[in-house]
Amino acid sequence: SAVISQKPSRDICQRGTSLTIQCQVDSQVTMMFWYRQQPGQSLTLIATANQGSEATYESGFVIDKFPISRPNLTFSTLTVSNMSPEDSSIYLCSVNEPTNYGYTFGSGTRLTVV
Amino acid sequence: RKEVEQDPGPFNVPEGATVAFNCTYSNSASQSFFWYRQDCRKEPKLLMSVYSSGNEDGRFTAQLNRASQYISLLIRDSKLSDSATYLCVVNPRGGKLIFGQGTELSVKP
């Protein structure tokens, strides 16, 4: 299966600042997905990142707060902007692998905003 | 109603027990179904896909009932290492996943 390198693995940030999370995949993939997992909760899709076009955001998530880049088929970034303590979560990227019909996740970024 | 609903946990079972998790989904047009396992502070990992004919992988058996919009996971002969949160996951349309809230399993010696 695809190998995803996600970084940073964790960070503690001051409110009002921004953090950019990176995901690098070892193979070309059409779509990459960004999820948020709040403490004690399951995963919620933030947006789908497509190469060559703007990301598609889910209800409740906006580009100004979570800008996404997808410069090529192996890389994507998610920025959490103007952070507040409510943004403290685990953020995960994911890719779909048509060959085995599964979805693989990066190891996650544990963000704490103070 | 949530798109994907799972049994509330936690399930506390002794080693060797058989345990079953249930899940229902609301979108009848959903295309594919999965069980993921998530260990504490780790990313979710695919346990198995779920097919209409049912599928088995060692001690794990998954079933799908499209008419009832119901998915199940059966774990036989539980091991301590099975302790984790099990996520029911549905793909209602191409490319995105909807996650259930997860069911926590704790297997005790």
Tell me the per-residue pLDDT of A27-63, one tens digit each, with 9 for 90 and over: 998 889 999 999 888 899 999 998 888 899 999 999 9
Distance of CA A104 to the CA centre of its chain: 13
pLDDT at B94 over 70: no
User: Mean of the pLDDT values across residues A62-85?
Assistant: 96
Question: Predicted confidence band at B9 (pLDDT cuts at 50, 70, 90)?
Answer: confident
Question: Which pair of structure tokens corresponds to residue B72?
Answer: 């199940």
The tokens 């940030």 sit on which residue? A13
Q: Do A102 and B46 touch (CB under 8 A)?
A: yes
Q: What is the mean pLDDT of residues B81-91?
A: 95
Range name among A19-33, B75-89, B94-108 with the lowest pLDDT average: B94-108
> How many angstroms separate the CA of residue B98 from the nearest CA in chain A?
7
**Can you tell me the distance from the alpha carbon of B109 to that of B27, in angstroms, rounded to the nearest whole number?**
39
DSSP β-ladder status, A102-105 and A75-80? unpaired
Per DSSP, A23 falls in state E
Of A42, A45, A105, the CB nearest to B96: A45
User: For residue A100, what pLDDT is reported?
Assistant: 57
How confident is the model over B6-34, as a mean pLDDT?
Answer: 92
Average pLDDT of the residues in A82-95: 96
**Smallest CA–CA distance from B48 into chain A, residue:** A102
B46 touches chain A (CB under 8 A): yes
The torsion angles phi and psi of A87, rounded to 5 degrees, stand at -85, -5
Res. B82 pLDDT band, cuts 50 70 90? very high
- Which residues on chain A are in Cβ contact (under 8 Å) with B97? 33, 43, 45, 94, 103
* pLDDT tier, B41 (very low <50, low <70, confident <90, very high otherwise): confident
Contact A48 B96 (CB under 8 A): yes
CB contact under 8 A, B44 and A105: yes
With an 8 Å Cβ cutoff, are B95 and A45 in contact?
A: no
- β-bridge partners, B49: B34
Name the one residue in this structure whose structure tokens are 């103007």: A82
For residue A85, give every residue at least 6 positions away whose Cβ sits within 8 Å of its Cβ, in sequence order, or none. A15, A113, A114
CA-closest candidate to residue A111, choices A87, A77, A79 = A87
pLDDT beyond 80 at A89? yes
